[in-house]
Amino acid sequence: MKRRAFQIIPVIVLISVVLFVFNNFSCSNSGPSAFGNSSSSPLKGDQETARAIEIQDTFRKIYELYKDRVVFITTEQVVELPPNPFFDDPFFRQFFGVPEQKSRKQKRSGLGSGFVLSSDGYICTNYHVIANVDSVKVKVKNKDYKATVVGYDQRTDLALLKINPDEKLEPVFLGDSDQVKVGDWAIAIGNPFGLDRTFTVGVISATSRKDVDMMGGSQSHIQTDAAINPGNSGGPLVNINGEVIGINRMIYSQSGGYMGIGFAIPINTAKAVLEQLKKYKKVKTGYIGVQIVPLTEEYANELGLKNTEGALVGGIMEDSPAEKAGIQPGDVILSVDEKPIKTYEDLVEIVSKTPIGKTLKIGVWRNKSKIYLFVTVKERP
């Protein structure tokens, strides 16, 4: 009996030591930490902070909503590299016995973004993302699909792709870019530098920016300070309601990277173009056949106008919609379907986006009074 009691004593001592160490360790961790403040931040639970958290939760919801609706686009192009001009010199080759050089081929890859337009696999992106490439692949939900270019429009920098997905896709929610105001939230989602599903937040910095690519075009752009970088092209610009209001297209940069100024194609412009690309595989641009000249202040006063807003008709093309409608040289177009025309660019933008065959109500200033004429838009010859 004594022997058994003697054997039990070390076990009891060992258990006591373990409990002592555990209690001391627990007590040391329950006290002040050596780093940082272990108490809650005074901002946690603050009323103003709670409001910010509500916006933060909205951003999280938008990301969850769009993470599988935004796609990753990769392209491949085979290009011929010219031979080295030094080795292409006949005298040099003869002198050193160098054989005639042949051109080499090299594969070049590109990256871009896009988004799902329909459950059966129509994808929107920028034209410059897929321009002159040999193959296009689209990654959706971590699955790669070979894409077909349905159509593109170089002027608006838009392209429509088609894939054959294994399952129904979830399309984006399209908003109304005409309702966008300066100061609105702006969220850019895309694949900058190949970093897929990157989410950046900013505001709308300006609307109706024109001639941003110095090409002399009349297309309007939405300006934003949401971070856009190479690879974001073709991705959506989303509002706080989770609606696509634009297609990220380009940036102003001296370094090639983000500098706080990015531009997106308004979704209302894109809708009309994409519908035509699906139907015709190209854009049928509308025209009415008027030639516009500058309206000076002096001539505006002679016509009885208060300012130089409007498009002064300098000439009419023969057998054009404008001629058939009765528009005359010297008329000033002030409105189209009750939308004011401030410059000729407004007229070009409205007419070019109008479906072929639609009749427009044109407000014309003639003989110091406004009259209305009706012009049926035709496809530009």
DSSP code of 11?
A: H
Token pair 């900058």: residue: 192
Q: Which of 128, 153, 320, 331 is catalytic?
A: 128
How many residues are there in the chain? Answer: 381
- Look at residues 293, 296, 325 and name the one whose alpha carbon lies nearest to residue 312: 293
For residue 79, the tally of other CB atoms under 10 A from its CB is: 12
- The answer to whether 227 touches 189, Cβ cutoff 8 Å, is no
What SS3 state is found at 372?
strand
Q: What is d(CA 261, CA 218) in angstroms, rounded to the nearest whole number? A: 19
Annotation says 157 is catalytic: yes
Q: Which of 157, 225, 331, 346 is catalytic?
A: 157
- The answer to whether 192 touches 230, Cβ cutoff 8 Å, is yes
At CA 270, angle to CA 265 and CA 274, rounded to 5?
145
DSSP code of 297?
A: H
In sequence order, what are the residues at sequence separation of 6 or more whose Cβ sits closer than 8 angstroms to the Cβ of residue 378? 286, 287, 288, 289, 320, 321, 356, 357
Annotation says 221 is catalytic: no
Q: Which of 177, 205, 233, 352 is catalytic?
A: 233
What SS3 state is found at 298?
helix
DSSP code of 65?
A: H
What is the DSSP annotation of 103-167? -EEEEEEEEEEEEE-STT-EEEEEHHHHTT-SEEEEEETTEEEEEEEEEEETTTTEEEEE---SS
- Look at residues 355, 210, 349, 340 and name the one whose alpha carbon lies nearest to residue 284: 355
What SS3 state is found at 189?
strand
- The answer to whether 130 touches 152, Cβ cutoff 8 Å, is yes
Annotation says 128 is catalytic: yes
Active-site residues: which are they? Answer: 128, 157, 233
